[in-house]
């Protein structure tokens, strides 16, 4: 995940172009504080206008690398762009320059979880599934419904449901619910925060809503999900429900929904 605290639409497009195929770019300042509390962004990209913003201090305190896009740097990129014949589009060219500046992603709990599922499933997880899973696991409050995925997959939620039905897959909402549950379990296990705080930060708004959600998905309360055996037990349950070999083979046919370049 990359946070982009930049003013111009051109720079926002450049940051989005620089991101990996499975990586979200957060441009809404109002949500950045929450993201810094629940996730570990790869970097915060900031322009001159926002250099003294409080989000920059929060990111620095959280150990998130700061990438400054100053006016001088943009001028250098523009000079390089104009040297090309013909000059490429600004957003893609700037994105390519920024990609060289961004730090490499560090392994996270999401990487470890996806590796665990790869071993449990006995095969590489489909590109399309990983594109969805990383986004939801890193920021479950952003993906509370299928509609939240529309900007990523670029088709409507009814069309997505229809494609899953035609492939005889479990509904996309079931995958979304289990992924959000796995994010809840991780948060409960590692932060020690109260159930109510966890509920607010992960997009459930209240401890009651979170409790109803966890019981409806896996039959357990949030308190029970703090148990030491809960993560391993849920890996087994999710693998049995969603990662059968035939289901993963059908997921492969969804790969074209997820462009590998922004």
C-alpha to C-alpha distance for 86 and 74, rounded to whole angstroms: 19
Exposure class string for 216-234: b at 16+ Cβ within 10 A, else e: ebbebebeebeeeebbeeb
What residues contact 163, with CB distance under 8 A and at least 6 apart? 155, 254, 257
Q: Does residue 114 sit within a domain?
A: yes
Statement to judge: residues 144 and 236 lie in one domain: yes
Statement to judge: residues 217 and 136 lie in one domain: yes
Q: Domain range holding 9?
A: 2-101
Statement to judge: residues 75 and 117 lie in one domain: no
Statement to judge: residues 32 and 49 lie in one domain: yes
Statement to judge: residues 159 and 211 lie in one domain: yes
Statement to judge: residues 130 and 74 lie in one domain: no
Statement to judge: residues 81 and 197 lie in one domain: no
Q: What is the pLDDT of residue 256?
A: 65
The gap from C-alpha 84 to its chain's centroid, in whole angstroms, comes to 34
Domains in the chain, number: 2
Q: What is the pLDDT of residue 99?
A: 96
pTM above 0.85, yes or no: yes
Positions of the chain with pLDDT lower than 70, given as ranges? 255-262
Element at 244 (helix H, strand E): none
Q: What is the CATH number for 87?
A: 3.40.50
What residues contact 88, with CB distance under 8 A and at least 6 apart? 81
Q: What is the pLDDT of residue 110?
A: 94
Q: Does residue 262 sit within a domain?
A: no
Q: Where are the alpha helices (DSSP H) in the chain?
A: 9-18, 32-38, 54-61, 71-83, 90-101, 109-121, 127-138, 150-153, 157-166, 172-191, 195-201, 207-218, 230-242, 245-252
Statement to judge: residues 92 and 197 lie in one domain: no
- Could you say which of 101, 119, 146 is where a domain stops? 101
Statement to judge: residues 53 and 133 lie in one domain: no
- Could you say which of 74, 101, 128 is where a domain stops? 101
């Amino acid at each position: 995940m990359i946070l982009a605290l930049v003013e111009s639409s051109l720079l926002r497009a450049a940051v989005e172009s620089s991101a990996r195929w499975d990586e979200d770019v957060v441009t809404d300042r109002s949500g950045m504080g929450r993201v810094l509390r629940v996730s570990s962004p790869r970097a915060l990209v900031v322009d001159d206008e926002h250099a003294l913003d409080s989000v920059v201090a929060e990111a620095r305190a959280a150990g998130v690398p700061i990438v400054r896009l100053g006016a001088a740097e943009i001028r250098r990129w523009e000079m390089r762009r104009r040297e090309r014949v013909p000059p490429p589009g600004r957003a893609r060219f700037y994105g390519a320059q920024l990609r060289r500046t961004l730090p490499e992603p560090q392994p996270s709990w999401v990487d470890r979880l996806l590796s665990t599922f790869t071993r449990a499933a006995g095969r590489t997880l489909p590109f399309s599934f990983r594109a969805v899973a990383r986004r939801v696991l890193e920021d479950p409050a952003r993906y509370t419904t299928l509609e939240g995925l529309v900007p990523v997959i670029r088709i409507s939620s009814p069309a997505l449901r229809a494609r899953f039905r035609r492939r005889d897959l479990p509904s996309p909402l079931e995958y979304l619910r289990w992924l959000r549950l796995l994010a809840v379990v991780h948060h409960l296990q590692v932060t020690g925060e109260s159930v109510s705080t966890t509920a607010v930060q992960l997009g459930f708004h209240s401890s009651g809503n979170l409790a109803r959600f966890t019981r409806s998905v896996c039959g357990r309360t949030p308190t029970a999900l703090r148990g030491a055996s809960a993560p391993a037990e849920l890996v087994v349950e999710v693998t049995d429900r969603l990662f059968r070999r035939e289901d993963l083979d059908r997921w492969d046919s969804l790969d074209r929904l997820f462009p590998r370049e922004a």
